[in-house]
Amino acid sequence: MVKMDRKLNSTRSLFFGLINKLVSLLLPFVLRTIMIYSLGVEYLGLNSLFSSILQTLSLAELGFGTAMVYSMYKPIAEGDNAKISALLNLYKKIYRFIGCIILAVGLCLSPFLEHLINGSYPNDINLYLLYFIYLGNTVISYFLYAYKQSLLVAYQRNDILSNISTVINFALYVLQVAVLFLFKNYYLYIIILPISTIINNIIVSRIVDKKYPEYVCNGSVTSEDLKEIKKRVGALIGHRLSGTVVRSADNLVISAWLGLTILAMFNNYFIIITAIIGILSIINTAITPVIGNSIIVEEVGKNYRDFNKVFLLYAWLVGWSTIALVVLFQPFMILWMGKNMLFSFSTVILLGVYLYFYLIRQTVLIYKDAAGMWWSDRYKPYAEAITNLILTLTLVNFIGVNGVLISTIISVVLIAIPWETYALFKNYFKLQPIKYYIKFATYILITLISGIVTYEICSYIPDGKFGYLIVKILICSIVPNILFLLAVCRTQEFKGLISIAIGIVKNKYIGYSKYNKKI
């Protein structure tokens, strides 16, 4: 059985993932700013609308990619090349079938586009042509080499995907900025997307072929393996549905009920939330395959201790991020978009609550995904999605955007978190989750106290100038972290995290010293 260098792979994925996220989050922010001043706010709303429609169509993927990556963990650990080749062959065939489904459903939806927009949209564009370009960009990967990415993910080499994505995205955003400056043409701006997708797929394919030549798409999986994959996919359908409803349906409802301008304003705020989620998702991407390998080769007790360390790390990062978001949102938006593009502070509070509970559950989800435990809570996503959709369609008529956010928060806090936690602790750790909930409540209390203290300090600093914003950023960087450190510094989980950090630093130093000696 092969034991991978989990710390090295995790650290490498974190480092290159961070670089990729900085490019893929900062440059779109610049792009969004240029677009709103060169083309107008409604074009931003169209971007969000098309993206949400196509995320909904991507439900056809049904979580198959996640199930396939999980299915590769064991044969990789055992060196079973024939089985991996058979899985790749299956993956390739099903992905192309999925591409056909998305294309067909996407074409069938096109006559209803105008009904998803409340009010007007820019009259100098062909709504359907733009939609078809977006649809083509989504479908391309399914017909090319997207299935080959699963090998890199299963081998814990997300850093390679990050490096490719960084280069391609950087070139994409630079070209799009140039188009906006030189031509102010939305069609040229959009047509670059499928071109970059094709190039990305080709590069990934060439690298995978060169790095893993022993794997070719041939052979068939056994009936037993196929049955297990079908079971995982069947469980993942609901999880995909829930995630799409929570993320994409909100945008569709806002567009259809409140219009493109409100949708653009909402996404001006949400792009910051997306940036925070994106940066923290680097941890998910880096450690999920690492934990998957650990679950196979380590005993449950060790994995439970590691789980508590990861939970502390997440609670700290999520708490800090939430505090910074609530304190800095309005001062930043005033400088970026102006006071006429602001939502009320109540919306900011709800965005903070949404971010906190969306992210704090990730520790449980990481371990569930790594252990392939999608069947145990297979009914949860349906309950979450239906509850969220009913509440959203009801509350948006009375309290607008706040109703959309409240609906999502209720479905996550009352349905998703308890159900997911119960499934993991009952089926894998074989423990009652009472200690987890005590830690959960403790971390919420620490975050709340730290947030109030930080907000009160920053309230003495006026808004409207960049220098004042920098001061608030410094306060948000120092005060919450000091308070969190004081609260958790004596816990076993904190001491464990410090030991891991020291070990990583020592390994890096030793590796660097050996490298210098060789030179």
C-beta neighbour count of 222 within 10 angstroms: 10
pLDDT of 63 reads 65
Helices assigned H by DSSP within 144-220? 149-154, 158-182, 186-211
Q: List Cβ neighbours of 26 (8 Å cut-off, separation of 6 or more).
A: none
Residue-wise pLDDT tens digits, 22-62: 777 777 788 888 888 888 788 888 888 887 777 777 665 66
C-beta neighbour count of 348 within 10 angstroms: 19
How many Å apart are CA 126 and CA 185, to the nearest integer? 12
How many Å apart are CA 42 and CA 130, to the nearest integer? 14
pLDDT of 443 reads 97
How many Å apart are CA 61 and CA 52, to the nearest integer? 15
How many Å apart are CA 473 and CA 464, to the nearest integer? 14
Of the candidates 510, 448, 511, 455, the one whose C-alpha atom is nearest the C-alpha of residue 484 is: 448
Q: Hey, what amino acid is at 245?
A: V
Helices assigned H by DSSP within 337-379? 345-360, 362-370
List C-alpha distances in Å: 424 to 325, 329, 364.
Answer: 30, 35, 7
For the chain, which ranges sit under pLDDT 70? 1-18, 20-21, 58-63, 235-236, 238-247, 504-519
pLDDT of 332 reads 94
Q: Running DSSP on this structure, what letter comes out for residue 491? A: S
- Is 260 in contact with 342 (CB distance < 8 Å)? no
Residue-wise pLDDT tens digits, 476-487: 999 999 999 999
pLDDT of 250 reads 85
Bin 4: left if φ > 0, else alpha if -120 < ψ < 50, else beta.
beta
Of the candidates 313, 316, 346, the one whose C-alpha atom is nearest the C-alpha of residue 329 is: 346
Backbone angles phi, psi at 448, to 5 degrees: -65, -50
Determine whether 126 is exposed, middle or buried from the number of CB atoms within 10 Å of its CB (0-12, 13-18, 19+). exposed
pLDDT of 510 reads 45
Q: Is the pTM of this model over 0.85?
A: no
Tokens of 453: 């203290």
Q: Running DSSP on this structure, what letter comes out for residue 433? A: T
pLDDT of 514 reads 44
pLDDT of 474 reads 97
pLDDT of 515 reads 34
How many Å apart are CA 154 and CA 162, to the nearest integer? 14
pLDDT of 392 reads 94
pLDDT of 61 reads 61
How many Å apart are CA 301 and CA 303, to the nearest integer? 5
Angle at 248 between CA 391 and CA 93, to 5 degrees: 130
pLDDT of 60 reads 56
Q: What residue ranges do the domains of the chain occupy? A: 6-260, 490-519
pLDDT of 507 reads 58
- Is 385 in contact with 245 (CB distance < 8 Å)? yes
pLDDT of 504 reads 60
Q: List Cβ neighbours of 438 (8 Å cut-off, separation of 6 or more).
A: none
pLDDT of 461 reads 94
448-475 core/surface letters (b: 16 or more CB in 10 A; e: else)? eebbebbbeebeeeeeeeeeebeebbeb
pLDDT of 486 reads 96
How many Å apart are CA 96 and CA 205, to the nearest integer? 16
